[in-house]
A and B are shown apart, each in its own frame.
Chain A
Amino acid sequence: MKGGISQGLNLCMAGLFVCAILSAMQWPVHSRAFVMAIAFPGLLLTVVLFVRQRWRRGTDAATSPGLGDTPLDADVPPAVARRRMVNVFAWIFALFALVRLVGFEIAVPVFTFVYLRFQAREGLLVSGAAAVVMVALIVGVFNWILHVLWPKGMLQGWLGL
Chain B
Amino acid sequence: MIRFTDARYSPAWVAVLSGLLIWMTLAGPETATAADKPFYEGKTIRVIVPFSPGGGTDNYARFAARHWVKYIPGNPKILVQNMPGGGGALTFGYLYSKASRDGLTLGVASEGIPVRRLLRRPGHTYKFTEMSLIASAPSSTTHFAGKSLGIKELSDLKKTSGKIVAGDTQKGSTVAIVSGLIFQLLGLEYRQVYGYSSYGEARLALLKGEVNMTGGDAFNYALVVKPLEEKGDVTILFQSGLLDSQGKVTRHPAMPHLRTVKEGFVELFGKEPSGTVWEAIKGIIAVNTLGKSVWAPPGVPEARVRVLEDGFRKMVADPAFQADAVKVMGGKNDAVIGKDAQAALKQFFGLPEEVVKLYR
A90 to B1, CA, bound (A): 10
B19 to chain A, nearest CB (A): 9
Tell me whether B3 and A118 are in contact (CB under 8 A): yes
Chain B residues within an 8 Å CB radius of A43: none
Tell me whether A161 and B28 are in contact (CB under 8 A): yes
Chain B residues within an 8 Å CB radius of A156: 28
Tell me whether B1 and A109 are in contact (CB under 8 A): no
Tell me whether A119 and B2 are in contact (CB under 8 A): yes
Q: Is B29 an interface residue (CB 8 A)?
A: yes
Chain B residues within an 8 Å CB radius of A149: 46, 79, 81
A121 to B8, CA, bound (A): 12
Tell me whether B4 and A118 are in contact (CB under 8 A): yes
| Overall SS of chain B's interface | mixed
A90 to B2, CA, bound (A): 10
Known: A90-B1, A147-B79. A121 touches B6 (CB 8 A): yes
Chain B residues within an 8 Å CB radius of A87: 1-2
Chain A residues within an 8 Å CB radius of B20: 106, 109-110
Q: Is A42 an interface residue (CB 8 A)?
A: no
Give B1-52 interface residues, CB cut-off 8 Å to A.
1-4, 6-7, 12-13, 16, 20, 23-24, 27-29, 46
How many residue-residue contacts, CB under 8 A, span A and B? 38
Tell me whether A118 and B7 are in contact (CB under 8 A): yes
Contact check: which of A90, A118, A124 meets B16 at CB < 8 Å? Answer: A124
Contact check: which of B2, B13, B24 meets A124 at CB < 8 Å? Answer: B13
Q: Is A135 an interface residue (CB 8 A)?
A: yes
Tell me whether A161 and B29 are in contact (CB under 8 A): yes
B170 to chain A, nearest CB (A): 12
| Overall SS of chain A's interface | helix
Tell me whether B79 and A103 are in contact (CB under 8 A): no
Closest to B3 in A: A118
A86 to B2, CA, bound (A): 12
A113 to B17, CA, bound (A): 11
A102 to B20, CA, bound (A): 12
A14 to chain B, nearest CB (A): 30
Tell me whether A105 and B46 are in contact (CB under 8 A): no
Digitize A147-161: 1 where CB-to-B-CB distance is under 8 Å, 0 elsewhere. Answer: 101000000100001
A94 to B318, CA, bound (A): 54
A54 to B323, CA, bound (A): 74
Closest to B44 in A: A147
A53 to B303, CA, bound (A): 72
Chain B residues within an 8 Å CB radius of A110: 20
Chain A residues within an 8 Å CB radius of B24: 102, 106
Contact check: which of A83, A86, A106, A147 meets B27 at CB < 8 Å? Answer: A106
Instruction: Give 7 nearest A-B pairs by CB, closest first.
Output: A105-B27, A161-B28, A124-B12, A147-B79, A87-B1, A118-B2, A106-B24
B interface vs A, CB < 8 Å?
1-4, 6-7, 12-13, 16, 20, 23-24, 27-29, 46, 79, 81
A interface vs B, CB < 8 Å?
83, 86-87, 90, 102-103, 105-106, 109-110, 113, 117-119, 121, 124, 128, 135, 147, 149, 156, 161
Add 9 more A-B contacts to A110-B20, A118-B3, A128-B16 (CB < 8 A): A90-B1, A105-B27, A106-B27, A118-B7, A121-B6, A124-B13, A147-B79, A147-B81, A149-B81
